[in-house]
């Protein structure tokens, strides 16, 4: 498939544990975005990559959240010492240019912190 | 402080009739607007967009209207089909938000057969 792939699709973790979420963007897409959607809320921007650098990480909610992208392709979002309020669907999207081109979203990772 | 607002959380329409989904924004620097559709357990998919230099963009059954003076845009679906039932998100970019596409909270559309 040529779409954005995210893994795992579901993750249940205990409060205080670290989790790592993975995103494989569409091949050739230079821009990569992480969003999250909490229950009953819209999509909340987390971080934006252009290539391997992150010109906008203003949406990361705390220093427990970090993300990296390697080889201009795969990205991982890491949440350390998870809290219950981190429970949400984490969505990754990619674009061949930037926001002026439509974003293509993956199906998301549903994170549940117990 | 929501910059993109979708004030109707849900909308129910009869098959064959017109669906009108509304969106308001507060940042006058936004210059590009998009609508995304989302089915349960799937990521949002791009539907249609409009640049601030236009006031209308049409693609098949979908038309987006932009009223810059009112900071308002709307998505018209006509005729509506049961397969259109989904959550629709309005999004905006520009105004120095280089990487930040701002989304509304979404409107759940139900099209009844």
Tell me: the pLDDT tens digits for A10-67? Answer: 999 999 999 999 999 999 999 999 999 998 788 999 999 999 999 888 899 999 999 9
pLDDT of residue B98: 53
Tell me: the pLDDT tens digits for B2-57? Answer: 899 999 999 999 999 999 999 999 999 898 999 999 999 899 999 999 999 999 99
Select from B34, B42, B105 the Cβ nearest to the Cβ of A102.
Answer: B34
Q: Which residue of B has its CA nearest to A9?
A: B41
B99 touches chain A (CB under 8 A): yes
Tell me: the pLDDT tens digits for A92-103? Answer: 999 987 666 788
pLDDT of residue A102: 82
Range B56-71 average pLDDT: 97
CA pair distance B65, B49, nearest whole angstrom: 10
CA pair distance B109, B59, nearest whole angstrom: 19
Residue to test with chain B: of A8, A25, A31, A43, most B Cβ within 10 A: A43
Q: Which residue of A has its CA nearest to B5?
A: A42
The secondary structure of A11-72 as a DSSP string is EEE-TT--EEEEEEPPTT--EEEEEEE-TT--EEEEEEEETTEEEE-TT--STTEEEEE-TT
pLDDT of residue B41: 87
Tell me: the pLDDT tens digits for A66-87? Answer: 999 998 899 999 999 999 999 9
pLDDT of residue B65: 98
A35 touches chain B (CB under 8 A): yes
pLDDT of residue A18: 98
Q: How confident is the model at residue A1 (pLDDT cuts 50, 70, 90)?
A: low
Nearest to A61 by CA among A76, A42, A79, A84: A79
CA pair distance A3, A12, nearest whole angstrom: 25
Q: How confident is the model at residue B96 (pLDDT cuts 50, 70, 90)?
A: low
Nearest to A62 by CA among A46, A43, A44: A46
pLDDT of residue A41: 83
**A 50-79 near B (Cβ less than 8 A):** 50, 55-56, 58-59
Q: Is the Cβ pair A35, B103 closer than 8 Å?
A: yes
Q: Is the Cβ pair A105, B32 closer than 8 Å?
A: no
Nearest to A99 by CA among B64, B30, B60, B105: B30
Range B53-80 average pLDDT: 97
A85 touches chain B (CB under 8 A): no
CA pair distance B86, B89, nearest whole angstrom: 10
Number of helices (H) and strands (E) in chain B: give both, helices first: 0, 11
Range B88-106 average pLDDT: 81
CA pair distance B87, B109, nearest whole angstrom: 6
């Amino acid at each position: 498939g040529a779409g954005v792939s995210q893994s795992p699709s579901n993750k249940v973790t205990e409060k205080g544990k670290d989790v790592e979420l993975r995103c494989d963007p569409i091949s050739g897409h230079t821009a990569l975005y992480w969003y999250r959607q909490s229950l009953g809320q819209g999509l909340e921007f987390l971080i934006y990559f252009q290539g391997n650098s992150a010109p906008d990480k203003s949406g990361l909610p705390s220093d427990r959240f970090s993300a990296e992208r390697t080889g201009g392709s795969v990205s991982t979002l890491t949440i350390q010492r998870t809290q219950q309020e981190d429970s949400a669907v984490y969505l990754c999207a990619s674009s061949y240019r930037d926001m002026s081109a439509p974003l293509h979203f993956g199906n998301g990772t549903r994170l549940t912190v117990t | 402080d929501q910059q993109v607002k979708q004030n109707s959380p849900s909308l129910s329409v009869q098959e064959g009739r017109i669906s009108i989904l509304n969106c308001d924004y507060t940042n006058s620097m936004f210059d590009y607007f998009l609508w995304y559709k989302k089915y349960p357990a799937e990521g949002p998919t791009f539907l249609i967009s409009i640049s601030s230099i236009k006031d209308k963009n049409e693609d098949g059954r979908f038309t987006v209207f932009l009223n810059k003076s009112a900071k308002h845009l709307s998505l018209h679906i006509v005729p509506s089909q049961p397969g259109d039932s989904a959550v629709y998100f309005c999004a905006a970019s520009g105004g120095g938000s280089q990487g930040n596409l701002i989304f509304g909270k979404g409107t759940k559309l139900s099209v009844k057969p």
